[in-house]
Structure 1
Amino acid sequence: MQNVTVYTKNNCIQCLMTKKTLTQYGISYSEKNVENDAEALAFLKDKGYQSVPVVFSGDREPVHGFRPDLLAKLNQAM
């Protein structure tokens, strides 16, 4: 199984829904909160992202925003 990392922030409904969807699929993930982790924030900015959630999984294209359709594809690929 690939490593899945979800970049989030506090009080973010899209982040909450993304995490909930991954959990419903049984996909384990690590969470990095950009409000509490300066390195995580710098990483996302370096990649060109200005908002969260962003889901990284191996060499797959990252999922930006709450995208149930892309999370379903990620689940199928796992």
Structure 2
Amino acid sequence: MIVTVFTKPGCPPCDATKRKLDKLGVEYQSRDVTVDADALARVKALGYNGTPVVECGDVHWQGFSPDKCKQLADNLAAAQPVDEQAAIEYLEETA
């Protein structure tokens, strides 16, 4: 699932959001609304007037929210498919 962080330069909450997602290991694409007209249009279409805006599928929010970043990271981790062969090999090695 693609995570997008809509940002603008000189935005401390934007920087904090990206740092938190980085710390949680969440891969995301960053889109600057000051130079990307499509990004600005998307933010407005979601009903927001400021940054940061985080969007992943049907989930989106505005502002720096460490709790929502953590919940997103947890949900993404739970949605990852299990590599069954790797799991079998790991279990055989540790048996």
- What is the TM-score with the length of structure 2 in the denominator? 0.76
Q: How far does the alpha carbon of each residue in 1:6-39 deviate from its partner, in whole angstroms, 9 at most, with x for none? A: 0000100000000000000111000110001011
Task: Count the aligned residue pairs.
Answer: 76
- Aligned residues: percent identity? 41
Once the two structures are TM-superposed, the CA of residue 46 in structure 1 deviates from its matched residue by 2.1
Correspondence for 2:2: 3
Correspondence for 1:76: 74
Contact 1:7 1:52 in 2 (8 A): yes
Measured on the aligned residues, the alpha-carbon RMSD in Å equals 0.9
Query: Structure with the greater relative contact order (CA < 8 A, sep ≥ 6): 1 or 2?
Result: 1
Unaligned runs of 5+ in 2: 77-95
Once the two structures are TM-superposed, the CA of residue 5 in structure 1 deviates from its matched residue by 0.3
Structure 1's consecutive aligned runs of 4 or more residues displaced over 6 angstroms after TM superposition are: none
Unaligned runs of 5+ in 1: none
- What is the TM-score with the length of structure 1 in the denominator? 0.91
Instruction: Give runs of aligned pairs for residues 1-78 of structure 1, distance below 5 A.
Output: 2-60=1-59, 62-78=60-76
Contact 1:53 1:64 in 2 (8 A): yes
More helix by share: 2
Distance 1:6 1:22 in 2: 10
Matched residue of 1:63: which SS?
A: strand
Structure whose CA Rg is larger:
2
